[in-house]
Amino acid sequence: MLMNILNYAHYLLESSIEKGEKVIDATCGNGHDTLFLSRVVGNTGHVLAFDIQQQAIEHTRKVLDENHYTNVSLIHDSHANVSTHLKNDNIERVGGAIFNLGYLPQSDKSIITSGDSTVAAIDQILSVLKPNGLIVLVVYHGHEGGKDEMQTVLKYSMRLPQRAYNVLQYGFINQQNDPPFIIAIQKR
Ligand SMILES: C[S@@+](CC[C@H](N)C(=O)[O-])C[C@H]1O[C@@H](n2cnc3c(N)ncnc32)[C@H](O)[C@@H]1O
């Protein structure tokens, strides 16, 4: 069966992340992916979850507290600074990462992820990603500014050398209103 975008994003990560690993939610927003990753890595693993909006950090903290998940560091900073935070925590290898691009639902639609910071973060994470690990990007592009980011991310991903990375695009081509799609980058 064809999985919907969010289910397939989670399926890919669940297939490649091991319990006990350190993983990244680059855009925690309302915390759904953070909660998912927290469950996948288990008590012995750890999630670093980033967002530039205080309200996203607070919302995610609430969701984690309600579910008694304690294996997450919430980082109120841009994912473009991910390597600094990894160094501070002495993390030299990560098991996987997710990016959910666009704006925080039910919030200020002008605060969006941007191509430059997204690509900077992907680049930094790839350098510490485990072999066969995945970075999964859910690309929303229907909002203002979304197409610019989509082009930047696609251009970067398509140029990743084939000998070092497998890059997948997954999406539905008969849906209306700019449906989101997935870019998954697997380190070989
Ligand atoms: C589509 S939402 C994420 C949804 C989230 N994954 C969830 O499960 O609810 C995108 C989020 O990215 C955040 N964001 C935008 N630019 C960012 C950046 N440079 N670094 C980290 N987060 C950023 C926004 O504040 C917003 O909360």
Q: pLDDT by residue (tens digit) across 73-130? A: 999 999 999 999 999 999 999 999 999 999 999 999 999 999 999 999 999 999 999 9
* Residue of minimum CA distance from atom 3 in ligand 1: 29
pLDDT of residue 36: 98
Q: Is 96 touching ligand 1 by the criterion CB < 6 Å?
A: no
Residue 25's closest CA among 35, 39, 17, 16?
A: 35
Confidence of residue 138 (pLDDT cuts 50, 70, 90): very high
Mean pLDDT of the chain: 98
- How many C-beta neighbours within 10 Å does residue 87 have? 11
* Residue of minimum CA distance from atom 9 in ligand 1: 30
Pocket test for ligand 1, best of 10, 104, 122, 182 (most atoms within 8 A of CB): 104
pLDDT of residue 109: 94
Q: Tell me 164's DSSP state.
A: T
Q: pLDDT by residue (tens digit) across 48-84? A: 999 999 999 999 999 999 999 999 999 999 999 999 9
* Residue of minimum CA distance from atom 8 in ligand 1: 32
d(CA 73, CA 60): 11
